[in-house]
Amino acid sequence: MFEAARAYADPSDDAFGGADEGVVVSIGRRDGPAVERLRAHGLRPTRQRLDLVGVLFSQGDRHVSAEQVYSEALAAGAKVSLATVYNTLKQFTEAGLLVELAAAGAKSFFDTRVDSHHHFYVEDEGVMMDVSADDVGIDRLPTPPEGMEIVGCEVTIRLRRKR
């Protein structure tokens, strides 16, 4: 009933859940789509960037924090430092490979989906789930202020567990 909604790991906890069994992450490959993806965005295909591309984009759409990416990368056998993960996530975001999520709290999250879509946000759990753009209908938006243009538009639907 909710194919459009996918949970992601609880941001308040330590990142974990790295390297699901059965998911083959293309760590170590010196060619292929990951290389082209990086080149297409003006980034040199270094080993750690390729590893992080593998972690980020081999499992469908994801909402991740730097810590999560770091431990998944380590779990997948990548050699990378936490600082590089932070720097790389920022570079990927600037390059358009990722989008930074607007989230409550003092931690940054990144979305591997860069097309326009929306989110359920479970307030008490800090959990976010994707909502396909097709499931939300917006029929009216305000005109932007002078000199500005609309780049995108996201809906956050806040949820609470029924009680």
Give me the residues that bind DNA (CB under 7 A), please: 43-49, 65-67, 79-84, 86-88, 90, 106-108
Q: Is 42 a residue that touches a second copy (CB under 8 A)? A: no
| Residue 11 vs residues 20, 45, 63: alpha-carbon distances, Å | 18, 29, 9
Q: Is 102 a residue that touches a second copy (CB under 8 A)? A: yes
Which of 28/96 has CB closer to a second copy? 96
- Backbone φ and ψ of 111, nearest 5°: -115, 130
80 interacts with, out of a second copy, DNA, none, CB within 5 to 8 A per kind: DNA
Q: Is 115 a residue that touches a second copy (CB under 8 A)? A: no
Angle (nearest 5°) at CA 51 between 119 and 132? 15
Q: Is 30 a residue that touches a second copy (CB under 8 A)? A: no
# residues contacting a second copy (CB under 8 A): 47
DSSP, collapsed to helix, strand or coil, labels residue 67 as: helix
Buried-state track 56-81, b at ≥16 Cβ within 10 A, e below 16: bbbeeebbbbbbbbbbbbbbbebebe
81 interacts with, out of DNA, a second copy, none, CB within 5 to 8 A per kind: DNA
